[in-house]
């Protein structure tokens, strides 16, 4: 399994210097995409990185503000995204389509997919085509059968049963088509995704919460650092962190007493990167033990294999 960490504002603004093995960046506009090279450099220039088309910006505008963006504006964004990809010097491992079928319908998204297929055919960069629960199983089957779709995405939710998601992903595994799981962290023990991403991995540095990977449970746990008895992910070892400045965080135990050390912003970020790396390795081994080995099954996405 591959785990991509979504770039935060601290990364886009190059406030830190990290070693991130897999990075996800989001396209908002051509102007803001100019920060991508510096963001990649801030993460140690990872060889395995992907970029999404920014569909979530439009979805957020629709559901949070009650505004459905005009289709012409969305299509202009799509053309800008593909144009930037064609002209850019950066070559991602894969890109994510503009999956807005819940807002504009399947016919519109299928027309947009024609542009992505043309891009993929001319550049060789795989496009991740995303299935939504409202699309139905017949659409999923058609995506598996399509010779034009080498990689699929699956947006779980809206009451989709875990056993159905597992069935879909295992079907894709048999077809040799990698599946990226969106908003799927809670399903990792039950569904063998090729890859997933995390948008909350940096919350420790941003909001003052440190995480540790608990190998006993295969999940992240809140925990302190630097204090004996709390650094082993015990169930009740959840400390409160008080942000004292943008670059320093003071750790306090449950009684409010300062813990040893004040790790800076960069240290907190890198710690989170390392813990999520442990999570990736754990789930890769977990599913290999159950006979699901994506890295052997899939060849065209072989960069940076786990």
Q: Is residue 281 part of a domain?
A: no
Same-domain check for residues 155 and 180? yes
Same-domain check for residues 21 and 162? yes
Residue bearing the bigger pLDDT, 13 or 234: 13
Give the rounded percent of residues in the chain with a pLDDT score beyond 70. Answer: 81
**pTM score of the predicted model:** 0.85
Same-domain check for residues 35 and 153? yes
Same-domain check for residues 88 and 6? yes
Same-domain check for residues 25 and 151? yes
Distance CA 87, CA 27 (A): 14
**Residue 62's pLDDT is what?**
85
Asked which of 131, 166, 199 is the last residue of a domain, the reply is: 199
**Residue 212's pLDDT is what?**
82
**Residue 158's pLDDT is what?**
64
Same-domain check for residues 96 and 44? yes
Candidate from 72-76, 108-112, 156-160, 280-284 with smallest mean pLDDT: 156-160
**Residue 93's pLDDT is what?**
94
Judge contact between 152 and 130, C-beta under 8 A.
yes
| Per-residue DSSP letter, 304 | T
Q: Is residue 72 part of a domain?
A: yes
Q: Is residue 301 part of a domain?
A: no
Same-domain check for residues 57 and 111? yes
Distance CA 72, CA 215 (A): 48
Asked which of 199, 220, 253 is the last residue of a domain, the reply is: 199
Same-domain check for residues 98 and 171? yes
Half-sphere exposure of 180 (CA within 13 A, CB side): 26
List the domain range (segments joined by +) for residue 245. Answer: 203-276
Sign of the CA dihedral with 125 first, then 153, 297, and 172 last: negative
Same-domain check for residues 51 and 19? yes
Same-domain check for residues 240 and 181? no
For residue range 136-166, list pLDDT tens digits in order. Answer: 999 999 999 999 999 999 987 667 899 999 9
What does the DSSP assignment read for 38-75? HHHHHTT--SEEEEE--HHHHHHHHHHH-----HHHHH
**Tokens standing for 27?**
């396209």
Q: Is residue 284 part of a domain?
A: no
Q: Is residue 285 part of a domain?
A: no
137-145 and 162-175 helices cross at what angle (nearest 10)? 10
Q: Is residue 164 part of a domain?
A: yes
CATH number, domain at 57? 3.20.20.120
Same-domain check for residues 35 and 169? yes
Distance CA 128, CA 151 (A): 5
Number of domains in the chain: 2
Q: Is residue 73 part of a domain?
A: yes
Candidate from 200-214, 232-246, 267-281 with smallest mean pLDDT: 232-246
Q: Is residue 117 part of a domain?
A: yes
Same-domain check for residues 166 and 210? no
What is the H or E stretch that residue 242 is in? strand 240-245
Asked which of 173, 199, 225 is the last residue of a domain, the reply is: 199
């Amino acid at each position: 399994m591959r785990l991509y960490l979504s770039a935060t504002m601290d990364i886009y603004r190059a406030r830190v210097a990290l070693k991130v093995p897999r990075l996800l960046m989001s396209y908002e506009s051509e102007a803001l995409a100019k920060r991508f090279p510096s963001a990649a450099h801030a993460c140690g220039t990872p060889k395995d990185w992907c970029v999404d088309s920014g569909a979530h910006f439009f979805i957020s505008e629709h559901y949070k503000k009650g505004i459905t963006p005009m289709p012409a504006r969305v299509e202009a964004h799509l053309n800008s995204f593909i144009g930037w990809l064609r002209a850019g010097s950066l070559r991602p491992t894969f890109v994510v389509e503009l999956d807005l079928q819940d807002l504009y319908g399947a016919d519109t998204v299928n027309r947009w997919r024609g542009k992505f297929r043309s891009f993929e055919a001319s550049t060789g960069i795989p496009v991740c085509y995303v299935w939504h629960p409202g699309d139905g199983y017949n659409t999923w089957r058609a995506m598996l059968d399509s010779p034009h779709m080498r990689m699929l995405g699956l947006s779980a939710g809206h009451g989709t049963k875990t056993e159905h998601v597992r069935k879909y992903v295992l079907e894709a595994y048999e077809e040799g088509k990698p599946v990226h799981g969106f908003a799927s962290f809670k399903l990792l023990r039950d569904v063998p995704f090729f890859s997933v991403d995390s948008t909350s991995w940096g919350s420790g540095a941003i909001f003052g919460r440190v995480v540790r990977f608990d190998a006993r449970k295969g999940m992240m746990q809140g925990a302190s650092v630097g204090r004996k008895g709390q650094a082993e992910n015990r169930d009740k070892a959840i400390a409160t962190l008080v942000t004292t400045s943008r670059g320093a965080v003071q750790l306090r135990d449950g009684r409010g007493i300062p813990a040893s050390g004040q790790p800076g912003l960069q240290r907190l970020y890198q710690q989170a990167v390392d813990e999520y790396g442990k999570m990736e390795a754990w789930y890769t081994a977990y599913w290999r033990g159950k006979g699901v080995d994506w890295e052997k099954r899939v060849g065209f996405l072989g960069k940076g294999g786990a």
